Structure formats: C-alpha cells, structure tokens
Amino acid sequence: MDRGRFLVGLTGGIGSGKSTVADMFAAHGVPIVDTDAVAHALTAPGGAAIPAIREAFGEAVIAEDGALDRAAMRTIVFGDAAARRKLEAILHPMIGHCCELMIEEATGPYTIVVVPLLVESGRWRERVDRLLVVDCPVETQIARVMQRNRFERAQVEAIIATQATREARLAAADDVVDNGGDAESLAPQVDALHRRYLELAGQRA
Ligand code: ADP
C-alpha cells in the first residue's frame, strides 16, 4: 500500500471544467500534475517519446519540427485499435513515470493529479487516494467545447462517446464538484474540498 504523500485524482469529461477547477486548487498552493501536459511535453520537439514513436510508426507521424504530428497520428489510430494500443504502450508508461517523478518532487500537504480518463484507467484508479470528479450535464460539456475549440457538435459528441459516461464517473467518485452552474459557484466548493483534503492528508501523515 502506498504511504507517499496524499494524492487526489481529478477527472471529468471533456469540457466539464477540470482545468478551471485545477487552477483554483493551484491558487491555494496545491501542486498540480497534469497528465495531458506531460503527454504534450513527451511528444514535443525533442520529447522523450519521439524516438520510440518514430521507430513504431515511421517518419509520417513526425512533423517537420520534430514533434508528433497529432493530426497524422489521429488518422492512423482512428478506428485501428491495434495501432492505438501500440501508441498507448509507448506513451502510458512514460507518462506514468514522469508523473511519479513530479509527484515525488512536489511539495505541499497533498498533490492533485489531473487525469482526463482516470475512471477508464485501472492504473490511476489504484494509485490515487481520493477521486474527485468535476461534473456537469452533457449538453453543457458540448456547448463549452464547441465554444472553446470551435468544434462541430458531432465532433464533441464523438469524443464524449469514447469517454466513460457521466453516471460511471459519478459512481466512481469520492467527491464531486458541481460545475453545471456559473463559475462563481466553484470557489466555495473548492475551498471546502481543500479543507477536507488538508484534513485527510494530515490524518495520513
Ligand atoms: P476541461 O479541462 O474539463 O476540458 P475546462 O476547464 O477547459 O474543461 O473548461 C471548458 C471550457 O468551459 C473553458 O473554456 C472554460 O473557460 C469554460 N468553463 C468552465 N467552467 C465554466 C462555467 N462554470 N461557466 C462557464 N464556462 C465555464
């Protein structure tokens, strides 16, 4: 059993408000480890995952600047489960390793790791001490992502279809931030959770 620092996993569907909520915890001084940011860094020009990806998929998925060509990669893995698994087999252990290093180096009474597909991931579910879900209705997710990313409704719906359902996430949650309303309703919820996590981390120490 893990005896390291108290670790809260923060998740939620696309557009639910994970980044918004993570920023509010960060404002309390809580260290945030963001798995998406780590994945981006690993696949940026000179990123540690680039050689293995080049080896597995060829030059066609490497952009001119040496970064992963995300559009080309998406085309390959779309509808090809074996290719997707091959990419994940390269990336997931590297992401896990980098995140563990960052968690180890983080200072503070507890740490938050942001994992968009946490409920879908056996590894992260086992790793975190507490699972925090940012929740809002699916229609709200769709509206936010259409606005933020300039996506068509069908694009957002297709992404949502690949993620755990709202019900599955809520069933797995220890704590829930209700982000179905306006942004002002978030601060009191985050403040209360921060106090709770300080308490839980204190009991553990
Ligand atoms: P996620 O990280 O889960 O994809 P974000 O935190 O990026 O979600 O939020 C998605 C979009 O919706 C962003 O543009 C954000 O500014 C906006 N947003 C988040 N929460 C609210 C809210 N309560 N009211 C209005 N807009 C919001």
CA angle 102, 93, 105 (to 5 degrees): 10
155 lines ligand 1 (CB under 6 A): no
- Which of 14, 18, 20 most suits a substitution to test ligand 1, by most atoms within 8 Å of the C-beta? 20
Checking if the pLDDT of 1 tops 50, the result is: no
- What are all long-range contacts of 46-53, with beta carbons under 8 Å and residues at least 24 apart? 48/94, 49/90, 49/91, 49/94, 52/90, 53/87, 53/90
User: What is the rounded average pLDDT of the residues 147-164?
Assistant: 96
Largest CA distance in the chain: 52
| Per-residue confidence (pLDDT) for residue 3, from 0 to 100 | 54
Which percentage of the chain shows pLDDT scores above 70? 99
Which residue owns the Cα nearest ligand 1 atom 10? 15
111 CB less than 6 Å from ligand 1?
no
CA-proximal residue: ligand 1, atom 23 (nearest): 183
Look-up: residue for tokens 């998925």? 61
Q: Is 141 in the pocket of ligand 1 (CB under 6 A)?
A: no
> Ligand 1 in contact with 16 (CB < 6 A)?
yes
Compare 188 and 79 and report the one with higher pLDDT.
Answer: 188
pLDDT digits (tens, 9 = 90+) for 11-64: 999 999 999 999 999 999 999 999 999 999 999 999 999 999 999 999 999 999
Ligand 1 midpoint to CA 135 (Å): 11
Give pLDDT tens digits for 75-114. Answer: 999 889 999 999 999 999 999 999 999 999 999 999 999 9
Distance 147 CA to ligand 1 centre (A): 10
